């Protein structure tokens, strides 16, 4: 199995963490690319993923791209029923939270984190305060939904970690970073859940190196 990936990407982190969680990481040929210098513009990645994006996983003659369905496929193939339950109701909940994180919560958070953290790490200039202000309204709207869902639960769907936590939690390290400007103290259940995720072995193994180097 081959994985094209990069550091500091929540999309890559959740796929890498899934591979760790499933005990598959040692079987993976990891190709870690520096996007800032264009290392990902290479023929073998484009052959596997016409978008030329990471994460991309190649398993046999199959190419997996888009991180959320990639995690589901890997978990299903590994028979990880606890991590990715296959009954219709839970599958609906998994797909619902994955759609929600892409369209709403992590879209807002991603824009904020790009401005406050990533641009500085990649030397791409000062944060755009207008973008941050606009997305902060969206962040508050959707973080309140997540905080309510996590009330009385350790993880999004209940007492055990599932693929949904990895999907929604992808940006946890960046959101917890002191420079992120993300007002997590207003959402204590979200903050506690992010810290719970960071403590999981699969999550700890995939902590963004750029952040720890700077710490």
Ligand X SMILES: N[C@@H](CCC(=O)N[C@@H](CS)C(=O)NCC(=O)O)C(=O)O
DSSP class of residue 63 equals: E
Check binding of 13 to ligand X (CB under 6 A).
Answer: no
Question: In this complex, which beta carbon is closest to ligand X, that of residue 20 or of residue 53?
Answer: 53
Binding marks (x or -) toward ligand X, 61..100, rule CB under 6 A?
-----xx---------------------------------
Helices 188-199 and 129-149, packing angle to 10 deg: 80
For the CB of residue 45, give the shortest distance to ligand X in the complex, in Å: 9
Check binding of 35 to ligand X (CB under 6 A).
Answer: yes
Size, binding site for ligand X by CB under 6 A: 10
How far apart are the C-alpha atoms of 173 and 212, rounded to whole Å? Answer: 10
DSSP string, 74-129: HHHHHT-TTTS--SHHHHHHHHHHHHHIIIIIHHHHHHHHIIIIIHHHTT--S--H
How far apart are the C-alpha atoms of 85 and 2, rounded to whole Å? Answer: 25
Question: In this complex, which beta carbon is closest to ligand X, that of residue 175 or of residue 191?
Answer: 175
Check binding of 149 to ligand X (CB under 6 A).
Answer: no
For the CB of residue 91, give the shortest distance to ligand X in the complex, in Å: 19
Q: How far is CA 195 from the centre of its chain?
A: 14
Question: In this complex, which beta carbon is closest to ligand X, that of residue 96 or of residue 140?
Answer: 96
For the CB of residue 55, give the shortest distance to ligand X in the complex, in Å: 6
Question: In this complex, which beta carbon is closest to ligand X, that of residue 8 or of residue 143?
Answer: 8
Q: Which of residues 159-188 bind ligand X (CB under 6 A)?
A: none
Check binding of 55 to ligand X (CB under 6 A).
Answer: yes
For the CB of residue 9, give the shortest distance to ligand X in the complex, in Å: 4
Task: Report whether 94 contacts 42 (CB < 8 A).
Answer: no
Render the burial of 83-115: b for 16+ CB within 10 Å, e for the rest: bbbeeeebeebbeebbebbbebbbebbbbbbbb
Q: By CB under 6 A, name the binding residues for ligand X.
A: 9, 11, 35, 40, 52-55, 66-67
């Amino acid at each position: 199995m081959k994985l094209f990936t990069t550091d500091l990407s929540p999309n890559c982190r959740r796929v890498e963490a899934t591979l760790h969680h499933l005990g598959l990481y040692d079987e993976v040929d990891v190709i870690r690319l520096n996007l800032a210098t264009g290392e990902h513009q290479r023929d073998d990645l484009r052959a596997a993923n016409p978008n030329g994006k990471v994460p991309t996983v190649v398993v046999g003659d199959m190419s997996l791209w888009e991180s959320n369905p990639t995690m589901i496929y890997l978990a299903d193939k590994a028979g990880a029923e606890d991590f990715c339950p296959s009954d219709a109701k839970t599958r609906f909940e998994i797909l619902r939270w994955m759609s929600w994180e892409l369209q709403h919560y992590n879209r807002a958070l991603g824009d904020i984190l790009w401005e406050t953290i990533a641009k500085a790490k990649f030397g791409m200039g000062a944060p755009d305060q207008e973008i941050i202000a606009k997305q902060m309204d969206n962040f508050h709207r959707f973080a309140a939904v997540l905080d309510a869902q996590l009330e009385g639960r350790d993880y999004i769907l209940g007492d055990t970690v599932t693929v949904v936590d990895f999907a929604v939690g992808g940006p946890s390290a960046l959101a917890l970073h002191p420079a992120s400007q993300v007002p997590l103290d207003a959402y204590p259940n979200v903050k506690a859940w992010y810290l719970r995720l960071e403590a999981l072995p699969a999550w700890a193994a995939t902590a963004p190196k750029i952040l720890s180097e700077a710490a």
